[in-house]
C-alpha cells in the first residue's frame, strides 16, 4: 500500500471492528451462520469457481482450505485478489501463506454472512483501514500495513 499509515492505525482499526460487531445485532439471527447463510456461501463458491475457470490462465491449487486461481486478468479482481466463497482469485504472483491466512478469514466471513457479505463489505468502504472485514482478516497478513508498523 503506497499511502501513509497513521501511527494509531491499530487502535482505530480495533474500534472500527468492534463497532461492526455491535452492528451485527441488527441482522436477524436466522441469517447468520445458518442454512440460509450456507446457501449464500455455496452460491459464492459456485460463482468463484465459474469466474476462476473461465478467466484463470494459471495454476489452480487447494491451499489453506481455499481454491486459489492464479493468472486472472487484472480487471477481474481488486487489489491483490478477491475471495468469493472459498475461491481466491488472483494474478500471476503466488500468494504467501500469510495472504492465504487472510483470505481464509474472508471465506469464513462468507460462511457466516452468506450473500449479505458483499453488501456489508461494500457498505464498509474500499479503504482497508476502515473496512471491518479487512481489519478482521488481518491488515498485516493482507499486506495493507507493514508487519510491526
| Cα dist from 70 to 28, 57, 89, 132, whole Å | 36, 7, 6, 26
Q: Which residue has cell 499509515?
A: 5
Whole-model pTM? 0.94
Range of the domain at 66: 45-144
Instruction: Report pLDDT digits (tens) over 78-99.
Output: 889 999 999 999 999 999 999 9
- When divided into structural domains, the chain yields a total of 1
Per-residue pLDDT band at 35 (split at 50, 70, 90)? very high
Instruction: Report pLDDT digits (tens) over 43-60.
Output: 999 999 999 999 999 999
Residue 118 lies in a domain: yes
52: Cβ–Cβ under 8 A, 6 or more apart, which residues?
A: 60, 67, 69, 72, 87, 89
Q: Which three cell numbers stand for residue 101?
A: 491466512
Residue 107 lies in a domain: yes
Residue 28 lies in a domain: no
Residue 14 lies in a domain: no
Candidate from 32-36, 76-80, 98-102, 137-141 with smallest mean pLDDT: 76-80
Residue 6 has pLDDT above 90, yes or no: no
Residue 113 lies in a domain: yes
Residue 36 lies in a domain: no
Residue 69 lies in a domain: yes
Residue 32 lies in a domain: no
Amino acid at each position: 500500500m503506497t499511502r501513509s499509515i497513521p501511527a494509531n492505525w491499530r487502535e482505530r482499526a480495533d474500534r472500527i471492528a468492534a463497532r461492526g460487531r455491535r452492528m451485527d445485532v441488527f441482522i436477524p439471527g436466522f441469517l447468520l451462520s445458518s442454512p440460509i447463510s450456507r446457501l449464500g456461501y455455496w452460491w459464492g463458491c459456485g460463482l468463484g469457481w465459474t469466474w476462476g475457470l473461465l478467466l484463470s490462465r494459471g495454476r489452480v491449487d487447494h491451499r489453506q482450505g481455499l481454491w486459489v486461481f492464479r493468472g486472472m486478468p487484472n480487471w477481474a479482481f481488486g487489489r491483490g485478489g478477491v475471495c468469493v466463497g472459498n475461491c481466491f482469485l488472483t494474478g500471476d504472483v503466488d500468494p504467501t501463506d500469510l495472504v492465504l491466512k487472510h483470505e481464509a478469514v474472508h471465506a469464513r466471513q462468507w460462511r457466516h454472512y452468506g450473500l449479505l457479505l458483499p453488501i456489508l463489505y461494500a457498505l464498509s468502504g474500499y479503504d482497508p483501514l476502515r473496512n471491518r472485514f479487512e481489519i478482521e482478516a488481518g491488515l498485516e497478513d493482507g499486506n495493507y500495513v507493514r508487519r510491526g508498523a
